[in-house]
């Protein structure tokens, strides 16, 4: 029987349909998931199911946690025996075989580095350590111009070469830091695991970077809050957005910083100057098809600032990037959104 006759029968005989529907209980959809710690931050996984056994739930959780451990073992600069740490300690002319995970992130890093004309750079390791945001510890004063110039001499993808799953170092002192992309990659890996198990309605978040697919238990797209870009704002949201089959990542100067006599210094460094990016931008949130791209592009757009960032999005429309820029002004925050981002904002 085709769908059209069924609809006509329902219109003509509503009482019959009510009678038959009463004999069927609606499927109850619940949200499953858990929270944990990874990559020096927290993570959360949620998905909507009609039912799942404790055994299956535990099995998926074990898979997810094993994957996050593998990502961390490959790309954490805080682990002395990670793949990235071993590379960073190599001398010029040496090369090392790397895992599929590390190679995937490096390929994406090369691509986004080129697309953003260097605003995103995975070789900022020496500068990140110099400014006190790396594994070597914090500092309370600005580095000297001489120190910055020396660290800058090691920055740039010209100092490394990627071939398949082999990474070669051309310049001693070049160090990779993937803190601006690894969390997004971890989110994508967890999402892939959920989809492998047939789950298509899910929410995955690591350190504020998010990927959502399908609908939540209420049958609507997942609602994500964009945090007020101010230290001490807690979980207060500047805007609420619907995220449907996309990833959302945010970069801002309010999360990791230290104060000096010359002012506040945040952790998002401009590869072009060797210093924390300087402009009125407080944060930028990016929507993309995958979280690794959203994570890296958010960092690049923050480095650019609102005006340059909006121009870049228009010029690279093929990337299907949408963004919300939040600038500080004398009278409060000013929001600038691309048309596509504006469409998913729920509140005025």
Please enumerate in sequence order all residues whose Cβ is within 8 A of that of 95, keeping only pairs 6 or more positions apart, or say none.
166, 167, 168, 169
pLDDT confidence of residue 26:
44
Q: How far apart are CA 54 and CA 256, in angstroms?
A: 38
pLDDT of residue 196: 95
For residue 55, how many C-alpha atoms fall within 13 Å in the half-sphere facing its CB? 0
| Full-model pTM | 0.88
pLDDT at 73: 97
Q: pLDDT tens digits for the chain (348 residues)?
A: 333 333 332 333 333 333 333 444 444 578 999 999 999 999 999 999 888 889 999 999 999 999 999 999 999 999 999 999 999 999 999 999 999 999 999 999 999 999 999 999 999 999 999 988 887 887 878 899 999 999 999 999 999 999 999 999 999 999 999 999 999 999 999 999 999 999 999 999 999 999 999 999 999 999 999 987 765 555 556 789 999 999 999 998 877 777 766 667 888 999 999 999 989 999 999 999 999 999 999 999 999 999 999 999 999 987 899 999 999 999 889 999 999 999 999 865
Distance from C-alpha of 159 to C-alpha of 253, rounded to nearest angstrom: 28
* Exposed/middle/buried for residue 162 (C-beta within 10 Å: 0-12, 13-18, 19+): middle
Taking alpha carbons only, the member of 248, 89, 113, 275 closest to residue 173 is 89
CATH code given to domain 90-169 = 1.10.3980.10
């Amino acid at each position: 029987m085709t769908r059209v006759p069924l609809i006509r029968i329902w219109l003509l005989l509503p009482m019959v349909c009510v009678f038959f529907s009463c004999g069927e209980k609606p499927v109850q959809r619940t949200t499953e998931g858990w929270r944990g710690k990874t990559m020096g931050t927290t993570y959360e996984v949620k998905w909507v199911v009609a039912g799942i056994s404790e055994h299956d739930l535990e099995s998926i959780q074990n898979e997810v946690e094993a994957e996050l451990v593998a990502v961390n073992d490959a790309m954490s600069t805080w682990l002395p025996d990670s793949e990235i740490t071993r590379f960073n300690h190599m001398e010029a002319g040496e090369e090392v075989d790397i895992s599929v995970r590390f190679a995937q992130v490096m390929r994406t890093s090369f691509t986004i580095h080129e697309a953003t004309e260097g605003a995103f750079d995975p070789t900022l390791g020496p500068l990140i350590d110099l400014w006190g945001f790396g594994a070597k510890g914090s500092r309370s004063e600005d580095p000297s111009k001489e120190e910055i110039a020396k660290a800058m001499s090691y920055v740039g993808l010209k100092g490394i070469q990627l071939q398949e799953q082999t990474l070669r170092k051309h310049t001693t002192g070049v160090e990779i830091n993937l803190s601006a992309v690894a969390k997004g990659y971890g989110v994508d890996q967890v999402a892939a695991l959920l989809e492998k198990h047939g789950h298509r309605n899910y929410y995955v978040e690591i350190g504020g970077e998010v990927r959502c697919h399908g609908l939540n238990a209420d049958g609507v797209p997942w609602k994500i809050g964009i945090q007020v870009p101010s230290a001490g704002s807690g979980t207060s949201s500047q805007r609420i957005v619907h995220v449907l089959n996309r990833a959302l990542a945010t970069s801002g100067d309010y999360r990791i910083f230290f104060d000096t006599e010359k002012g506040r210094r945040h952790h998002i460094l401009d590869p072009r100057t060797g210093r924390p990016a300087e402009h009125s931008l407080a944060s930028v949130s990016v929507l993309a098809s995958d979280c690794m791209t959203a994570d890296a592009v958010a960092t690049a757009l923050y480095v650019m600032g609102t005006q340059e960032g909006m121009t870049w999005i228009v010029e690279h429309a093929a990337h299907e990037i949408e963004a919300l820029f939040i600038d500080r002004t004398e009278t409060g925050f000013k929001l600038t959104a691309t048309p596509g981002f504006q469409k998913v904002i729920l509140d005025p």
